[in-house]
Amino acid sequence: MSCPKAIAATRELRQVIQVELEKSGIAILPPMEVARTTSLMEALEMPIDTSMLDPWYNKGFGGIQADYHDYFLSIIRRAGTFSQHVFFWGFPEIIAPFVERIPEPLELTSWLTWYYKNNPSVIRGWRSSQNACLHMSIAGAKLYPERFLNDKQLELKGKGKLRYMPGPTSVIATTPDDVIEESLLVGFIGKKEQTGHPSQKPQKVYDQLLRMSVADAGIVWDPMSGSGTTGAVCRDRGFRAILCDGSDEFTALSEKRLGAKRLEVSGLIEAILDQERASA
């Protein structure tokens, strides 16, 4: 059973986050490792529409972790206990082993591909021009494909005459529904959007995922938020975001980019997680 101190800390932190989300739409937590952030969200029991999991890809940058698959399967499973949708990013060869091991209560909704033509050339063999993303959802999770309809399609839908519901990219691009074609942020491409983060994704890549999966004014949780791309998209679309990153440097990038300060709640977090560890 939770101790009174942990119960009070959980109630207070939940209230602090909710107030910040109502005020600015963005709540930035102090830097934490992703497993700790996940434990915190489990304890808070806040309703999350979508979890955006975009970790290091076990290729060197960000480190190498021997138990990478088991570690992130645990994170995915736990995210599925409080999220309607979970997105998990990686290179195709990193993502592939997860497909047949998706943990309940989640199910595979779609394998998505982000395709970019402008990857810098390399001499050594094949060069990668894509990232993969698994979209997983719990049973009955709502999707919002109507947000991608043009005016004519909306008119037909209103009359009950729309023969099929397009996916996001079939309306705004000439690629299949599960392929997002968007250039890397390098050089002069996306110059105004670049933050200096070494693996920053364009907002237009996250935008389609969140528009498809987040309710109006819904909440997105991103525990590896980098320079705050999830928060930037949520701010533009009227969604709300709870952000965290293990790096103090990247957390500072998010603060600068989003015009928000990290919450001074380390004491509350420790009180909650100390109880979680004691109960484990």
Tell me which residue of 117, 121, 99, 116 sits closest to 108, measured CA to CA. 99
User: How many CA atoms within 13 Å lie on the side-chain side of 265?
Assistant: 26
Q: What is the mean pLDDT of residues 265-271?
A: 97
Q: What is the mean pLDDT of residues 1-21?
A: 91
pLDDT of res. 277? 66
Q: What is the mean pLDDT of residues 1-19?
A: 91
- Look up the pTM and report it: 0.92
Q: Is the pLDDT of residue 222 over 60?
A: yes
pLDDT of res. 162? 80
User: What percentage of the chain exceeds 70 in pLDDT?
Assistant: 91
Q: What are phi and psi of 210, to 5 degrees?
A: -75, -40
pLDDT of res. 145? 86
Q: Kindly indicate the confidence band of residue 169, based on its pLDDT and cuts at 50, 70 and 90.
A: low
Q: Is the pLDDT of residue 20 over 80?
A: yes
User: pLDDT tens digits for 54-65?
Assistant: 998 887 667 788
Q: What is the mean pLDDT of residues 10-17?
A: 98
Helix count and strand count (H, E) for the chain: 10, 8
pLDDT of res. 2? 63
Q: What are phi and psi of 58, to 5 degrees?
A: 60, 35
- Looking at residue 233, which CATH number applies to its domain? 3.40.50.150
Q: Largest Cα–Cα distance of the chain, in whole Å?
A: 61
Q: What is the mean pLDDT of residues 240-245?
A: 98
Q: Is the pLDDT of residue 250 over 60?
A: yes
pLDDT of res. 1? 44
User: pLDDT tens digits for 110-157?
Assistant: 999 999 988 877 656 777 889 999 999 999 999 998 888 888 878 888
pLDDT of res. 276? 65
What is the domain count for the chain?
Answer: 1
Q: Kindly indicate the confidence band of residue 171, based on its pLDDT and cuts at 50, 70 and 90.
A: very low
Q: Is the pLDDT of residue 173 over 80?
A: no
Q: Is the pLDDT of residue 94 over 60?
A: yes
- Show the DSSP H helices in the chain as ranges: 4-24, 34-44, 68-79, 92-95, 151-158, 168-172, 203-213, 229-237, 248-258, 266-279
Is residue 89 within a helix (H) or strand (E), and if so which, with residue range? strand 83-90
Cα 258 to Cα 263: distance, rounded to the nearest angstrom: 14
Q: Residue 262 corresponds to which amino acid?
A: R
Domain that holds residue 79: 4-279
Cα 276 to Cα 45: distance, rounded to the nearest angstrom: 13
